Chains A and B, each alone.
Chain A
Amino acid sequence: MKTMINIVVLACEQACPRPQVWEAGLREAGLNIRVVPEPCSSKVEVFQLLRLLARKADLVWVVGCPEDLCRFLEGSARLKRRLAHAQDYLAEIGLERERLGLTLLAAEDRGAQEEALTAIRDRALSLGVNPGRRQDPPGKEQE
């Protein structure tokens, strides 16, 4: 029996207007992915990142705009500080800081998008299942 790796991507709608592209890219690699659109990456809170890791996710990735392109001016900068705070929490917990990832890219930058998808896939596969998350019920496990 093999436990599926769950990835949750919290994606700024400005940076990631077509989430289905991200979902398709990672499903091809055999990963279970869900993209959650956010009005701005700064809406992502520390408790959401930790709660996702506690309940279902093996890897949580946030996608935002480059700092100088953020529509809400400080959104991406705030996100970076919050993510660092959440990673400090993970270090205290004894879980890898790398289970929280971040990419800042412009919506039209296809190259950066491809790089991000590769980084997410590689990170998810190298970290594997998060030992701190709730276990899947038996029906959800996959061969």
Chain B
Amino acid sequence: MIVGTRKPLAELQEMVKPYRRLLLVGCDTCVAESASGGRRETSELAAALELAFRLAGMDKDIRETCVDRQCIHEFLLEVVEAAAEAEAILSLACGAGVQALAARLPETPVLPALNTQFIGETAERGLWLENCRGCGDCVLGLTGGICPVTRCAKGLLNGPCGGARDGLCEINLAKEFNPPVPCAWLQIYDRLNSLGQQERLLEPMAPKDWSVGDSGGPRRVLRPDQRP
């Protein structure tokens, strides 16, 4: 899923200040799971903005709605209707959702309430970890299901480096992480060991095809069988 975090309230206030009638639009899938843009968080932000603007002596008409997925146009039809009376939309979706909604509303400003962070996993309640970079050339089949591109701080394809200590990555020395960041390559070793596939580690991994990653401009997937 896509993990997001809410922008600071002061930044949001500044962004929406010129508009009196606002519609907040949540997205009830990925960013709901990461507790940043679902129904609950949309209602929290609507109430918080109402309080903050009233304290600042500004009268705003703040409304809210939420859709299951802002990145899929079919889900946006009801928002288009609700947006007719709004001067601006504050979207609590990831960047893809914000842009899909903006494409649907060519004459209404659609502003982001979140900073989109990464593709991740809910590791524990209240803890989300980046586990995928969307590199376009997945090596998880070779590494026991643990991504070295994302979870190794150096993105090494043949690790570990010399910096690992007590099972932890050396980036823990530079900054305090809670919980600390494990060495992905030691995790890969343990995982392959438990799968009985240690011999994989004897074969150096060939260079990856980075051309299918994000360095060649916006990527697209085209499926002729799915096309209209």
Task: Give chain A's interface residues, CB within 8 Å of chain B.
Answer: 45-47, 50-51, 53-55, 89-90, 92-95, 131-134
Contact = CB atoms under 8 A, between A and B. Distances in A.
A94 B44 contact: no
A50 B47 contact: yes
Contacts of A46: 40, 44
B18 interface: no
Contacts of A47: 40-41, 43-44, 46-47
A94 B47 contact: no
A132 B44 contact: no
Chain B CB within 10 Å, residue with most, of A45, A47, A53, A90: A47
13 contacts: A51-B47, A53-B51, A54-B51, A54-B54, A93-B9, A93-B51, A93-B52, A94-B52, A95-B51, A95-B55, A132-B50, A132-B51, A132-B55
A96 B8 CA distance: 18
A119 to B, nearest CB: 23
Given A46-B44, A92-B9, A132-B52, 12 more contacts: A46-B40, A53-B47, A54-B47, A54-B54, A89-B44, A89-B48, A92-B48, A93-B48, A93-B51, A131-B55, A132-B50, A132-B54
